[in-house]
Amino acid sequence: MDSHIADAISRPDLVHLDDQDGGLVCLRFESMKVVSAMAAVRHLLDTGAVRPGDTLLDSSSGIYAYALALACHRYGMRCHIVGSTTVDDTLRAQLAVLGAHLEQMAPSTSLKLDQSRRVERIEEILRDHPRYHWMRQYHDDIHYLGYRAVADRIADELGDGPLTVVGGVGSGASTGALATYLRGRVPDVALAGVQPFGSVTFGSQHVSDPDIIIAGIGSSIPFDNVAHTLYDTIHWVGFTAALAGSVDLLREHAVFAGLSTGAAYLAARWERAPHRTTLFIAADTGHRYAGTVFARHEEAPPIAALTPTRVSAVEELALPWSRMDWGRGDAP
């Protein structure tokens, strides 16, 4: 029996969706970043970098804020979040009740401005409170640690056959860690990363998606935790295509998950191949997208009608969906 809800949330579900080709598997989290935040905080405590009662500080667009607040609640720490404009009423209430202090940025004209303002505010806070510990979820590889147990479970349940892992890139920790740990146990593991248009991480900043609401799987600034040489393939998925994926995943498989999951599901369906299991990551539930995505289900195009534009250079990227063989290459 678990002694804290965060321990239970840290264990994802493995759901076998179908047997077509080598099989399609969903790695479903209630809130994925709880896995990395819990292990990161435990590591900091074990190594003496922080002590119970210390304040942990970071910037977040949503999911990590909740994860860090849970980890702080679990281990008796204080939590200070500099939040994006995208933090919604539900999360604000959760953070307040959990005892976390949230500073939310005022609305800005761009994702880049929002992120840069959050970093500037973090630096101001650290000057005033030098004993606060900045978690640096985008840059400190202690956020890889929690995914080792997840990778071990995947390998134990799926065996050592060929495997393709598909997921939103974001900070780089989840897909990067899973690929790293799985490649230590499974001989053939391919990694397909999913990005929104407009993200600098894999060079799509010149393509604007006016409807983007999945900024969390991309970035307007470089992240040290993204190891570009781990990725075999990159998919850039716009809002319309991700909407179609999210709606189809719920309609066909009854999986209610966030918009980034819809994008990963779309990419995973494309990447599946005979004699290979394809696993995609569902990072969170669909509740915060009920109004912006699922209420618009009648607008979703049929998923079978969508095909990615195959590109050989980022200059060729085009909405609503592009795919490129990255070939474990360097950062753009």
Q: Which two tokens stand for residue 151?
A: 């990778």
8 A C-beta contact, residue 64 and residue 33 = yes
Tens digits of residue pLDDT in 246-295: 999 999 999 999 999 999 999 999 999 999 999 999 999 999 889 888 99
Q: How far apart are CA 164 and CA 162, in angstroms?
A: 7
Nearest in space to 99 (alpha carbons), one of 75, 132, 70, 119: 70
Fold of 5-30+146-325: Rossmann fold (3.40.50)
**For position 274, what pLDDT does the model report?**
93
Low-confidence ranges of the chain (pLDDT < 50): none
For 55, 93, 140, the CA distances from 170, given in Å and listed in that order, are 25, 24, 14
Domain residue extents for the chain: 5-30+146-325, 35-137
How big is the chain, counted in residues?
A: 332
Instruction: Assess whether the region 5-30+146-325 and the region 35-137 belong to the same CATH fold.
Output: yes
**35-137 CATH pick, 3.30.70.60, 3.40.50.970, 3.40.50.1100, 3.40.50.300:** 3.40.50.1100
Predicted confidence at residue 217, as pLDDT, reads 84
At residue 221, the pLDDT reads 83
pLDDT of residue 303: 95
Residues with Cβ within 8 Å of 168's Cβ and at least 6 positions away in sequence, in order, are: 174, 175, 193, 194, 195, 214, 216, 217, 260, 263, 264, 281, 283
In tens, the pLDDT along 62-90 reads 889 999 999 999 999 999 999 888 788 99
